[in-house]
């Protein structure tokens, strides 16, 4: 049996992002399953690398109940981050470059020694050099942010841009830090790092394990976005966004008017 057209689906998703044009879901009509969806994600990454982007890390998606409920999908997923997606802390993004951007508060890790697949959380401080508050800007390439699990995996888990705040050494206990998402000085979402798989350190274990299944090993120096602590909020032109994580500090971005 002929499988789904991995290159063709990647091209459609890549063009949707480049032209800021939403498309319909693809998995049902193309027979895309989870494994083939990760192959599409890899093809999308190759497309970016071919135009000079660099792979700088990994992100976890749908690591909280709030996020799973928001999009109606119930599995943890992972995607790729490139240098072009990184926005400096306090930097400005153009909402017109995205279809329907949303922002969410996250915790980022700066990877040190390579974690081995299956390595326990006990070795976390060997594997992670520093921790930071972060903002992920997600932008599904599918109309109305509606997709199945293979669809969203193929679409690089809606990754679009990210901001990393100041790095600090790993503090004692990351499992229950208060998290706020502020828009224009008002609290838009309140959460806790406990929402990230119970403890964001677990997201690293999951990332090592799940990416490892597809032959992807995490690298020293990579950024690892552990996942959102709250649901995502639409990003409007002119908005000033801050993610505040207890003990870790603040990451921010502005949306140009």
CA distance 221 to 228: 21
Count Cα atoms within 13 angstroms, Cβ side, for 170: 18
CA distance 90 to 87: 8
Tokens of 8: 């063709």
**Least distance (Å) between residue 138 CB and Mg ion:** 6
193 is a site residue for ligand 0L1 (CB under 6 A): no
CB 252 within 8 A of CB 242: yes
**Least distance (Å) between residue 134 CB and Mg ion:** 9
Residue 197 DSSP label: T
DSSP-based three-state secondary structure for 187: strand
Which C-beta is closer to Mg ion: that of 26 or that of 163?
163
Which C-beta is closer to ligand 0L1: that of 42 or that of 156?
156
41 is a site residue for ligand 0L1 (CB under 6 A): no
Tokens 């329907």 sit at which residue?
100
Identify residues 42-81 at the interface with ligand 0L1 (CB under 6 A): 61-62, 67, 71
Contacting residue, 41, 42, 156, 158, with ligand 0L1 by CB under 6 A: 158
Which C-beta is closer to Mg ion: that of 70 or that of 254?
70
CA distance 202 to 220: 18
Number of neighbours of residue 243 by Cβ within 10 angstroms: 30
Identify residues 204-233 at the interface with ligand 0L1 (CB under 6 A): 227-228, 232
Contacting residue, 37, 108, 152, 208, with ligand 0L1 by CB under 6 A: 152
CA distance 162 to 251: 10
DSSP-based three-state secondary structure for 95: helix
Identify residues 116-145 at the interface with ligand 0L1 (CB under 6 A): 136, 138, 140
Contacting residue, 89, 136, 151, 155, with Mg ion by CB under 5 A: 136
**Residues in the site for ligand 0L1, rule: CB under 6 A?**
61-62, 67, 71, 136, 138, 140, 152, 157-158, 227-228, 232
**Residues in the site for Mg ion, rule: CB under 5 A?**
136, 228
């Amino acid at each position: 049996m002929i499988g789904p057209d991995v290159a063709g689906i990647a091209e459609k998703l890549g063009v949707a992002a480049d032209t800021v044009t939403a498309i319909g879901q693809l998995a049902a009509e193309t027979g895309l399953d989870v494994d083939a969806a990760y192959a599409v994600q890899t093809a999308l990454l190759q497309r970016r690398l071919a135009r000079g982007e660099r792979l700088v890390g990994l992100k976890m998606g749908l690591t909280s109940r709030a996020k799973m409920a928001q999009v109606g999908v119930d599995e943890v997923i992972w995607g790729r981050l490139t240098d072009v997606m990184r926005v400096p802390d306090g930097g400005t993004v153009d909402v017109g470059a995205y279809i329907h951007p949303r922002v969410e508060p996250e915790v980022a890790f700066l990877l040190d020694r390579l974690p081995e697949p299956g390595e326990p959380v006990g070795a976390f401080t060997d594997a992670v050099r520093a921790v930071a508050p972060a903002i992920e800007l997600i932008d599904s390439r599918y109309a109305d942010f509606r997709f199945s699990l293979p669809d969203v995996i193929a679409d690089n888990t809606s990754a679009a841009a990210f901001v990393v705040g100041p790095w600090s050494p790993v503090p004692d206990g990351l499992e229950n830090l208060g998290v706020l998402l502020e828009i224009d000085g008002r609290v838009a979402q309140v959460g806790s790092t406990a929402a990230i798989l119970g403890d964001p350190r677990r997201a690293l274990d999951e990332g090592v394990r799940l990416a490892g299944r597809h032959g992807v090993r995490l690298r020293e120096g990579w950024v690892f976005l552990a996942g959102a602590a709250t649901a995502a909020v639409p990003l409007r032109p002119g908005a000033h966004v801050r993610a505040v994580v207890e003990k870790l500090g603040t990451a921010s971005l502005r949306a140009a008017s």
